[in-house]
Structure 1
Amino acid sequence: MANSSTNGGSTRKARKPFELIAGNAALDLVNTLDWRFREEPPPEELLRDYDDLAYFSAQSGLISDALARRLIRNVSESKAAHVVVAVRELREAAALVLYAALDGDEVPGSAVASLERNFKRARDSQRLQKVAGKLDWEFSQGNSLPELPLWLLSLRAAELVTSDEMERVRACGNAECRWLFLDTSKNHTRRWCDMKICGNRMKARRFKAQHRG
């Protein structure tokens, strides 16, 4: 998980890496609201500033470490705050769609509209260009715009929810956690976000319940 810091190239505290357990950047984005279903204490926000967002994007393989540092160095305080808010809104729209699909609930139209809006903005920022001898989608204004993490995550979210991989999306069996992940296990029986974390917690909880009294 990441630690808080300031923008603008100032000295930053060492950051603990994000726990990317999902196998998909869009799912890992949803998981950046930790303990989403916990009542007390409230859920924990892991995308606390633009630095967190840039480093999350780099750790997810969406951008390079060097580009993450450049984005942090060049973004203004107001723009950084705006982009972080937009990414959180994208995250919550994706969460509504994904958890509704998992739980068999009706997908909120507002969430679908939000995903569509973000996807269209990302696509509108791209142009088909010749790169290394072949055509590919590139962002028309280069890779140094502060919105780049938002656009890339929007594209990943839209790609996921319209793909067959939706059939493999699962939620952690810990009801307070419910981190999302792609179940790539051989028998499709994965239950926990991370066995070392929630799996052991739930085992300990069952053991106490069985031996209580």
Structure 2
Amino acid sequence: MTKPFELVASHPVLDFVNTLDWRFRESGSEELLADYSDLLRFAAQANLLTAEQHRRLRRSSTENDPAQVFRRAIELREAMAQVFYALVDGVVPPVAATLKLDQYLHMAQTNRRLRWNKSRFELSWSAGEDSELQLPLWLLAQSASELLIAEAAQRVSACANLECRWLFLDTTKNHTRRWCDMKICGNRMKVRRFKAHRQA
């Protein structure tokens, strides 16, 4: 059975950035997304896609080659990573990463459609063979832009484990959250401090 993603960030965009695990580890990072099907699995688990959208895109991906869309998803993720880590570190986000994120946001916006559905208007997405496969990218770009301009952007933080640094939205009352997950990095760092104290 496929292992589910660990969604600990309280926001799908930050969880998406975290799909490159151990990003800052000296021995190297670990990629959690192998292909387009993994991207769909993530988007469904993060509630970006409805069950129906997930089924439709899985079917469409078997009829069309999604490799290029997957490469764009990784490109988008790394642009998001540069922007959000810059905010966490208190520096100006790289211009190239900001422009890349804006490019994907523009693609998302140009693929929104206003339509009449039975008794009311609704916003929907373009449905074409190649364009439909990009729906997870549009949803992620839109969600990232909404987070960046919201007050919540000030609550984006990174795990205190310097090899991990998974991003998360600190929703604690006094902004005191330090770890991506207490069961993972919190306990690991506690053990490390205990061993260092005993050896001192």
Answer whether TM exceeds 0.5 for this pair.
yes
Secondary structure of 1:79's counterpart equals coil
* Conserved? CA contact 2:126–2:132, under 8 Å: no
1:133 positional shift: 4.1
Of residues 154-163 and 197-206 in structure 1, the stretch that sits farther from structure 2 once superposed is: 154-163
Please give the per-residue CA displacement for 1:145-179, whole angstroms capped at 9, x wherever unaligned.
Answer: 21111111111111111211111101011000011
**Residues 133, 182 of structure 1: alpha-carbon distance in 2 compared, 3 angstrom cutoff:** farther
Distance 2:101 2:65 in 1: 21
Q: What RMSD in Å do the two structures reach over aligned CA positions?
A: 1.9
Alignment partner, residue 60 of structure 1: 46
The amino acid that maps onto 2:36 is: Y
Query: Which of 157, 181, 186 is the matching residue for 1:170?
Result: 157
**Residues 131, 187 of structure 1: alpha-carbon distance in 2 compared, 3 angstrom cutoff:** farther
Distance 1:167 1:134 in 2: 36
Query: Which of 74, 80, 87 is the matching residue for 2:66?
Result: 80
Q: Which structure exhibits the higher relative contact order, with contacts defined as CA atoms closer than 8 Å and separated by 6 or more residues?
A: 2
* Conserved? CA contact 1:47–1:84, under 8 Å: no
1:45 positional shift: 0.7
1:77 positional shift: 7.8
* Conserved? CA contact 1:50–1:72, under 8 Å: no
1:130 positional shift: 3.3
Of residues 177-186 and 132-141 in structure 1, the stretch that sits farther from structure 2 once superposed is: 132-141
* Conserved? CA contact 1:181–1:193, under 8 Å: yes
The amino acid that maps onto 1:33 is: L
Alignment partner, residue 206 of structure 1: 193
**Residues 77, 198 of structure 1: alpha-carbon distance in 2 compared, 3 angstrom cutoff:** farther
1:79 positional shift: 3.2
- Higher normalized helix content (fraction of residues): 2
Alignment partner, residue 167 of structure 2: 180
Alignment partner, residue 44 of structure 1: 30
**Residues 113, 185 of structure 1: alpha-carbon distance in 2 compared, 3 angstrom cutoff:** same
Unaligned runs of 5+ in 2: none
1:48 positional shift: 0.8
Aligned length: 199
Distance 1:128 1:108 in 2: 34
